[in-house]
């Protein structure tokens, strides 16, 4: 076996009414990777995804999964070997939550008790309360239904997971939770996941690779998130990737060689000290820390007035984006670096962070290329 799980070769779909949903698509999806299809509404994401499990048959070209042309595999067999989370939750209305989740394992011959037991575990995995197990889909919120849809797709433990905008109906906070859970899950399970979204930020966060689709089902770019932000293939992609592209691309640049500077600190009992290498001259900004040494806020030079709310924190292994944001959001202009336990270990200076950004830019082939 090669390391390619799914391969589109000239795969296209033109509907009987003449709509070309997907132009001849060439795309290779590595096994064990999370690949995102992203693009504006109507650009063929769902159609492309459905060509993988034969819910849509290509009108040209081929799609192969693990080397087999999907049209040679009976559709029901193909679908049971893949988890599928639909754009609308797609739950069976007359079955309870737990039986919805257990559907495919039951079809695969898993005894009812065992399938339900596993379904209850999966409820917890997607962050739903066990008390929901006996409800019907109509008795759940849209976001809860989507979580059940994700649990159902995971139930058969499939090697391939197709997810069509699975997090679109939930609020931003829940959405972040679900994204984090998916990344955790993927780190443990290494499934081949194809994930559709129209949200470029979600694509960049989740994807090992991202396929950007344009109007008319054209594949505009297929690249790592980093490449996408740094070197969009054309104006369409650049536009779609959108604002703050330069700043966001710093997410992928580690900030490991930035010099750490000392900072004056004061503890809740009033004890003063310094964290970081060396000493600091008196009279500058003072960082308030709690009893454990975690940052709490800043005191202006001269110590007048109430402490100011601190900026974001730069954590170990953080990127240049995190370092720069920590500096820009800090009242002192100094980025507070913390250790794994959240204790302040020193500060980074904005000028040095920007210098690192510039070094990084010059090291990139695209950094010196003509516009
Ligand atoms: N059964 C169909 N018959 C005719 N045209 C269709 C059919 N299904 C989809 N289309 C058209 O194909 C194009 C691609 O649709 P598709 O559902 O793949 O888009 P999408 O990228 O998933 O969009 P969205 O982000 O809105 O979900 C659209 O123009 C759509 O109207
Ligand atoms: Mg769609």
Q: Which CATH superfamily is domain 4-251 in?
A: P-loop containing nucleotide triphosphate hydrolases (3.40.50.300)
Which atom number of ligand 1 is nearest to the Cα of residue 87?
27
Please report, for the chain, the start and end positions of each structural domain, with discontinuous segments joined by +.
Answer: 4-251, 263-357
pLDDT, averaged across the chain: 90
187 lines ligand 1 (CB under 6 A): no
141 lines ligand 1 (CB under 6 A): no
44 lines ligand 1 (CB under 6 A): yes
pLDDT 10s digits, 74-95: 988 888 889 888 877 689 999 9
Q: How many other CB atoms sit within 10 Å of the CB of residue 251?
A: 16
**pLDDT band with cut points at 50, 70 and 90 for residue 237:** very high
Question: If you measure from the C-alpha of residue 318 to the centroid of ligand 1, how many angstroms do you get, rounded to a whole number?
Answer: 40
Pocket of ligand 1, candidates 37, 42, 43: which has the most ligand atoms within 8 Å of its Cβ, to mutate?
42
pLDDT value at 358 more than 60 = yes
Which residue in this structure is represented by tokens 């060509």? 51
Q: What is the mean pLDDT of residues 45-53?
A: 95
198 lines ligand 1 (CB under 6 A): yes
pLDDT at 298: 94
**pLDDT band with cut points at 50, 70 and 90 for residue 196:** very high
Q: What are phi and psi of 132, to 5 degrees?
A: -85, -10
Q: How far is CA 234 from CA 35, 221, 239, in A?
A: 20, 8, 9
Q: Please give the class, per CATH, of domain 263-357.
A: alpha beta
Rounded Cα gap, residues 163 and 192, in angstroms? 11
pLDDT 10s digits, 277-299: 988 888 889 999 999 999 999 99
18 lines ligand 1 (CB under 6 A): no
- Cβ neighbourhood burial of 238 (10 Å; 0-12, 13-18, 19+): middle
pLDDT at 368: 43
Q: Whose CA is nearest to atom 11 of ligand 1?
A: 21
pLDDT 10s digits, 293-351: 999 999 988 766 788 999 999 999 899 999 999 999 999 999 999 999 999 999 999 99
pLDDT at 154: 86
Pocket of ligand 1, candidates 18, 19, 41: which has the most ligand atoms within 8 Å of its Cβ, to mutate?
19
């Amino acid at each position: 076996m090669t390391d390619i799980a799914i391969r589109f070769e000239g795969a296209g779909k033109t509907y009987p009414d003449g709509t070309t949903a997907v132009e001849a698509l060439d795309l290779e999806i590595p096994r064990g990777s999370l690949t995102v299809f992203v693009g504006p509404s109507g650009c063929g994401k769902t159609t492309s995804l459905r060509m993988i499990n034969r819910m849509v048959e290509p009108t040209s070209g081929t799609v192969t999964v693990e080397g087999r042309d999907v049209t040679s595999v009976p559709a029901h067999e193909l679908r049971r070997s893949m988890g599928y989370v639909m754009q609308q939750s797609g739950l069976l209305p007359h079955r309870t939550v737990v039986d919805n989740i257990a559907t495919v394992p039951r079809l695969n011959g898993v005894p009812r008790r065992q399938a339900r037991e596993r379904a209850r575990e999966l409820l917890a995995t997607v962050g739903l309360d066990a008390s929901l197990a006996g409800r019907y889909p109509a008795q759940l919120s849209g976001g809860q239904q989507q979580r059940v849809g994700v649990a159902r797709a995971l139930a058969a433990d499939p090697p391939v997971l197709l997810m069509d905008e699975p997090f679109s109906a939930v609020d931003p906070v829940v959405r972040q939770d679900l994204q984090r859970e998916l990344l955790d899950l993927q780190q443990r399970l290494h499934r081949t996941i194809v994930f559709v979204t129209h949200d470029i930020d979600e694509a960049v966060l989740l994807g090992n690779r991202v396929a950007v689709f344009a109007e008319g089902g054209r594949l505009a770019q297929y690249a790592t998130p980093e490449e996408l932000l740094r070197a969009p293939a054309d104006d369409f992609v650049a536009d779609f990737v959108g604002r703050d592209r330069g700043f966001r691309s710093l997410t992928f640049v580690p900030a490991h060689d930035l010099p750490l500077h000392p900072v004056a600190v004061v503890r809740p009992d009033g004890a003063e000290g310094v964290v970081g290498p060396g000493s600091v001259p008196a009279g500058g900004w003072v960082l308030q820390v709690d009893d454990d040494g975690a940052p709490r806020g800043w005191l202006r030079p001269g110590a007048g007035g109430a402490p100011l709310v601190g900026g974001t924190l730069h954590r170990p292994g953080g990127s240049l984006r995190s370092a720069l944001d920590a500096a820009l959001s800090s009242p002192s202009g100094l980025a507070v670096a913390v250790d794994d336990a959240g204790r302040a270990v020193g500060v980074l200076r904005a000028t040095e962070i920007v210098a690192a950004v510039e070094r990084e830019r010059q090291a990139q082939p695209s950094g010196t290329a003509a516009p």
